């Protein structure tokens, strides 16, 4: 058996600060799909590794991403998505163009020497992988495709149609959430519905990857295709279930040592029946609620501090071992 890293890493604020600085800050983060800003003069707000982000397409058609934070007093500026020519902060009405420039600030004319030139929104790097948009604050990060191109999908995601986004929060450390995702050792115990759908026997449910992509592949018990679940460093999930063309994609990120947030964007083939799509989303929600109970129980269990660390089974939990090794290497 393999030792885990210390359980205090799931609750120590100092460890979380290292993770934010060394893991999340320089990483590429999925924020949404290109269809959300297909039209000129449009925008959508999202979250990238815990940072508020806004993606815009200006009147000239140029696509950009910015920190969704007003340069005046730090308020977030916009929520949701829509069509508009400017972004206006709800606090003091500082107004920005979709190119990020500060267009107006009430009472600025009363301030000698006020110069809007250096007060535009902070721009982030933005790149697409297929229809999926990613941002980073690291100007030197390699393109996201260098990692994501190793994710094997059974179809071209460009042909899928976005259906909805589901947001969620967990009372557990982000690493506990990721590690739960990286194994199906718990599936026969905790996921009866999933286990009826997918053969989770260890010789049939395959684990692949040494990072930064860790993948799981299973087969439907009724022979109707297979499933795949990919974790892309540091915390992006890409899921494909058996049946009609479908994909969900979304990140998790830390909101505190014992709190995690995330979202999933659901996509389906253009001809997929509405009822089938709704049923799959509800099925995935049920699996997610079962996982929520598990990871929150782990967070409560490790809080006592009398046990220093846990153990991993090298065969069934080797993807977790690889993930923990990368975390350890990155923050130490």
The DSSP secondary structure of 218-262, one letter per residue, reads EEBTTSS-EEEEEEETTTEEEEE-SSSSEEEEEEEEEEETTEEEE
116 in a structural domain: yes
Q: In this structure, are residues 300 and 268 in contact, taking their beta carbons and an 8 Å threshold? A: no
Q: What is the DSSP letter of 149?
A: T
Share of the chain above pLDDT 70, in %: 100
Same structural domain for residues 275 and 317?
yes
Same structural domain for residues 111 and 195?
no
68 in a structural domain: yes
- State the residue range of the domain holding 87: 28-140
Chain-centroid distance of CA 62 in Å reads 24
Same structural domain for residues 83 and 112?
yes
Indicate the pLDDT class of residue 224, thresholds 50, 70 and 90: confident
| 96, 113, 140 - which closes a domain | 140
Which segment of 84-88, 198-202, 304-308 scores lowest on mean pLDDT?
304-308
Same structural domain for residues 68 and 187?
no
> What is the rounded distance in angstroms from the CA atom of residue 63 to the CA atom of residue 77?
18
| 87, 114, 140 - which closes a domain | 140
The pLDDT assigned to 1 comes to 76
Same structural domain for residues 175 and 321?
yes
| 111, 140, 169 - which closes a domain | 140
> 314-328, pLDDT tens digit by residue?
999 999 999 999 999
Burial (CB count within 10 angstroms: exposed 0-12, middle 13-18, buried 19+), residue 324: buried
304 in a structural domain: yes
Q: What pTM, to 2 d.p., does this model score?
A: 0.96
> 270-311, pLDDT tens digit by residue?
999 999 999 999 999 999 999 999 999 999 999 988 899 999
The pLDDT assigned to 230 comes to 98
Indicate the pLDDT class of residue 6, thresholds 50, 70 and 90: very high
């Amino acid at each position: 058996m393999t030792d885990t890293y210390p359980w205090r890493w799931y609750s120590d604020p100092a460890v979380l600060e290292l993770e934010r600085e060394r893991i999340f800050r320089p990483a590429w983060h999925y924020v949404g799909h290109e269809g959300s800003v297909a039209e000129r003069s449009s925008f959508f707000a999202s979250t990238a590794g815990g940072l508020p982000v806004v993606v815009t397409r200006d009147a000239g058609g140029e696509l950009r991403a910015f920190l969704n934070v007003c340069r005046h007093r730090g308020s977030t500026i916009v929520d949701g998505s829509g069509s508009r020519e400017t972004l206006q902060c709800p606090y003091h009405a500082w107004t920005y163009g979709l190119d990020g420039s500060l267009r107006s600030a009430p009472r600025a004319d009363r301030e000698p020497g006020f110069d809007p030139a250096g007060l535009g929104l902070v721009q982030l790097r933005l790149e697409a992988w297929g229809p999926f948009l990613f941002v980073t604050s690291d100007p030197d990060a390699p393109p996201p495709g260098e990692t994501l191109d190793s994710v094997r999908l059974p179809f071209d995601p460009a042909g899928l149609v976005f259906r909805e986004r589901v947001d969620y929060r967990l009372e557990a450390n982000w690493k506990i959430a990721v590690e739960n995702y990286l194994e199906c050792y718990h599936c026969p115990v905790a996921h009866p519905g999933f286990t009826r759908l997918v053969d989770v026997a260890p010789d049939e449910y395959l684990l692949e990857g040494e990072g930064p992509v860790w993948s799981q592949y299973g087969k439907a018990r009724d022979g109707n295709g297979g499933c795949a679940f990919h974790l892309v460093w540091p915390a992006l999930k890409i899921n494909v279930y058996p049946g009609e063309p479908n994909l969900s994609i979304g990140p998790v990120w830390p909101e505190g040592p014992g709190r995690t947030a995330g979202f999933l964007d659901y996509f389906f083939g253009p001809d997929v029946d509405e009822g089938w799509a709704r049923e799959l989303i509800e099925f995935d929600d049920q699996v997610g609620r079962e996982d929520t109970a598990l990871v929150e129980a782990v967070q409560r269990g490790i809080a006592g501090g009398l046990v220093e660390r846990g153990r991993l089974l090298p065969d069934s939990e080797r993807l977790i071992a690889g993930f923990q090794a990368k975390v350890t290497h990155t923050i130490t």
